[in-house]
Amino acid sequence: MPVYSARVLVSLRPSVLDPAGEATRSAASRLGVEGIAKLRIGKAVELEIEAPDLATARQRLSLLSDRLLANSVIENWTLEVAASGEGLGTSSPVGEG
């Protein structure tokens, strides 16, 4: 069965305060890096999944992202999937919740 590589990016919804992001932003200016107007911290989850085809892989990963990796009350997610070996980041995000 083919193996697909995936990356799920989980980010806080814009309306949710990110105090850790704010603390990191203030550290950026202490480092001397000025001009950081916004810094919000999320999570990147890297996966490999065996599935009969790309559509099935995407469907299973969407369910996983929606029901486990992200909490839709406070977080959004995007999903990138590619056949293993083809590399990620070449296609635009395909899912959002």
Residues forming the site for another protein (CB under 8 A)? 15-20, 23, 68-69, 71, 73-74
* 45 phi and psi angles, rounded to 5 deg: -115, 120
User: Which two tokens mark 51?
Assistant: 């599935």
Q: Which is nearer to another protein, 18 or 80 (CB)?
A: 18
Q: Which is nearer to another protein, 13 or 56 (CB)?
A: 13
Q: Could you tell me the smallest distance in angstroms from the CB atom of residue 29 to another protein?
A: 17
Q: Count the residues in the chain.
A: 97
User: Which two tokens mark 75?
Assistant: 């977080």
Q: Could you tell me the smallest distance in angstroms from the CB atom of residue 73 to another protein?
A: 4
Residue 25 and residue 41: Cα distance in Å, rounded?
10
Q: Which is nearer to another protein, 19 or 35 (CB)?
A: 19
The answer to whether the Cα torsion of 49, 53, 58, 61 is positive or negative is negative
Q: How far is CA 15 from the centre of its chain?
A: 18
Q: Could you tell me the smallest distance in angstroms from the CB atom of residue 92 to another protein?
A: 26
Q: Which is nearer to another protein, 71 or 84 (CB)?
A: 71
